[in-house]
Structure 1
Amino acid sequence: MGTDPDVTAKQAEQMRSASGFIAALDQSGGSTPKALRLYGVEESDYAGDEEMFAEIHAMRARIITAPCFTNDKVIGAILFERTMRGEIDGKPVAQLLWEDRGIVPFLKIDKGLEEEKDGVQLMKPMPGLADLLADANGFGIFGTKERSVIQSANQAGIEAVVGQQFAVARTVLDAGLIPIIEPEVNIHSETKAEAEAMLKAAILTHLDRLGECEEVMLKLTIPSEDGLYDDLADHPGVMRVVALSGGYSTDEACERLARQPKMIASFSRALTEGLSKQQSEAEFNAALGANIDKIAAASG
């Protein structure tokens, strides 16, 4: 497919200003069994990684090809690397998303989290990142997503997380892609509000170092203080601020998000809540459609 400047410009405009939300379909090897259990597929139903990934691919394909999964309400989708390299109905997934559904494709590029230190979990090293980004360009991917986690309000740890995130973002920008920077704050942290204030300050410092016309996206935990991230959303270096559901139920995540007029959703588990392999197509599409409607409404 490759990268077409006209397509990229159209996708960028959609990500900046279109109403709707980003679907996160990027569970990795570690989180796939849990995602499948919630979907009604037990570990006894498959043998080994290949069958497990085939099951999760079938689930994602069912979501992506559902009648309600279009850019009316879903403006972007984050893919796992295996999904990017796979096909749906004989078509590469990113190509199908954009050409058939009007949805901007992103790629999860992180390799998981390090052990906790200084109240945070940094991203593990990403060997082969340059090659992966080159492949992403070839598949027509618009941007990337990379996640780290903040467990407590530790200044040194938070600065390390943000520094690492922006270092990876620099590599992504240099490859011609738009990074989604995701320094998640644990919703159960006893110092969540303090951590979010520190995080905002650290992000602003790094945003101010971006070059003219350079843009990133931010994927953040819904803040304890309503409107906390409005300044980030208004920064010229920020294309969009999106929210992760972070373990909240769909209803609670949507209720909290609705109070953040400058954030839209990028939900994973909340998107697939209530879906199961055993549902008929009508039941599945109704349940997915209800989730999409609810998340889109909360995204303003």
Structure 2
Amino acid sequence: MNQKQLDRMQKEPGFIAALDQSGGSTPKALKAYGIPKTRYRNDDQMFDLVHDMRTRIMTSPSFTSDKILAAILFENTMDRKVEDQYTADYLWNVKGIIPILKVDKGLAEEKDGVQLMKPMPQLNDLLKRAAKRHIFGTKMRSVIHSANKAGIKAIVDQQFDIAKRIVAAGFVPIIEPEVDIHAADKAEAEKLLHAEIKSHLADLEDGDKVMFKVTIPTEAGLYTDIMKDAHVVRVVALSGGYTRKDACVKLAQNPGLIASFSRALTEGLTCRMNDMDFNYLLADAIDKIYQASIK
């Protein structure tokens, strides 16, 4: 673990840029960017295009460590280069931004009101590659659709079991048990999730460090006590389908909770923009998200 990166993540103001759209979500990201499916014929071409999009974001003069603490990368992005450096090295060496890797392989079918993560049989090999690529931490996502106690316990059990393996490999895992913003019983689901997280934190070893990525809670301040736990480096929030404006308003109601936005970060950016307009719009998005993160 890089101590300088850990200190930055724990103490400095800013937010995390989520640039980790995977194979399933990449077509949507490209479409929003102005690139329809007719522009590519296979996955290789698709990933080339999305890497170009991410490279444009990362190399923008608006994308700096002044307001961005870290960036979450997709595995394919980790193995590519930006300006002749592997992406993680470019982020840290040139931009001063901490590299984090998405490690989950997508969601299983819904059961008991939740979607667990699919099996990750190649996780150990992926973590070895991540170490060579100078990755600081990882991120893995599961989804809660309703306030089902058994389902939520299964989600948190799975997340912590894998997180312990990731900690043992020398990384800081981001545990992401997303609560669907459209869930009819969202507030109750979040209370059940909060209780499970508290219980599992108590079982961690001294010195174990984790992070959480959560849906912005219905009850403002719900995760404040989690932030104070000695094992917790940071609690960050996903935009979850909210517009940037709505996500920032809701985030600002939760002191200490910082953003880790994807769609809300890139909202409005398109491939047709000239660099001046692109950089201006990106700077505006970054500033709005940063301001909401430091309330």
Paired AA for residue 159 in structure 1:
K
Paired AA for residue 38 in structure 1:
A
1:229 is matched with which residue?
Answer: 223
Per-residue displacement from partner, 1:180-226 (whole Å, max 9, x unpaired)?
00000000000100000000000000111111111100000000000
Given the alignment of the two structures, is residue 63 of structure 1 paired with residue 57 of structure 2, yes or no?
yes
Q: CA deviation at 1:237?
A: 0.9
Q: CA deviation at 1:57?
A: 0.2
Given the alignment of the two structures, is residue 136 of structure 1 paired with residue 130 of structure 2, yes or no?
yes
In structure 2, C-alpha distance between the alignment counterparts of 1:154 and 1:62, rounded to whole Å: 42
| Secondary structure in 1 matching 2:241 | coil
In structure 1, C-alpha distance between the alignment counterparts of 2:115 and 2:30, rounded to whole Å: 25
In structure 2, C-alpha distance between the alignment counterparts of 1:51 and 1:266, rounded to whole Å: 27
Kindly report which structure 2 residues correspond to 1:138-217, keeping only aligned pairs within 5 A, or say none: 138-217=132-211
Number of residue pairs aligned between Structure 1 and Structure 2: 294
Which of 276, 284, 293 pairs up with 2:287?
Answer: 293
| Secondary structure in 2 matching 1:183 | strand
Given the alignment of the two structures, is residue 79 of structure 1 paired with residue 73 of structure 2, yes or no?
yes
2:101 is matched with which residue?
Answer: 107
In structure 1, C-alpha distance between the alignment counterparts of 2:111 and 2:98, rounded to whole Å: 35
Kindly report which structure 2 residues correspond to 1:8-19, keeping only aligned pairs within 5 A, or say none: 8-19=2-13
Per-residue displacement from partner, 1:68-87 (whole Å, max 9, x unpaired)?
11110010000000000000
Q: Identity rate of aligned residues, in percent?
A: 56
| Secondary structure in 2 matching 1:60 | helix
Runs (5+) with no aligned partner, structure 1: none
Given the alignment of the two structures, is residue 52 of structure 1 paired with residue 54 of structure 2, yes or no?
no
Per-residue displacement from partner, 1:249-298 (whole Å, max 9, x unpaired)?
00000000001111000000000000000000001001111100000000
> TM (normalized to structure 2)?
0.99
Given the alignment of the two structures, is residue 272 of structure 1 paired with residue 261 of structure 2, yes or no?
no
Per-residue displacement from partner, 1:130-175 (whole Å, max 9, x unpaired)?
0100110110000000000000000000000000000110110010
In structure 2, C-alpha distance between the alignment counterparts of 1:186 and 1:14, rounded to whole Å: 30
Per-residue displacement from partner, 1:27-54 (whole Å, max 9, x unpaired)?
0000000000000001111111111100
In structure 1, C-alpha distance between the alignment counterparts of 2:93 and 2:83, rounded to whole Å: 13
Paired AA for residue 227 in structure 2:
A
> TM (normalized to structure 1)?
0.97
In structure 2, C-alpha distance between the alignment counterparts of 1:68 and 1:275, rounded to whole Å: 13
Runs (5+) with no aligned partner, structure 2: none
Name the Cα RMSD after superposition: 0.6
**Poorly superposed stretches of 4+, deviation over 3 Å:** none
Given the alignment of the two structures, is residue 125 of structure 1 paired with residue 119 of structure 2, yes or no?
yes
In structure 2, C-alpha distance between the alignment counterparts of 1:262 and 1:228, rounded to whole Å: 11
Per-residue displacement from partner, 1:2-21 (whole Å, max 9, x unpaired)?
xxx6xx10000111011110
Paired AA for residue 278 in structure 2:
F
Paired AA for residue 70 in structure 2:
G
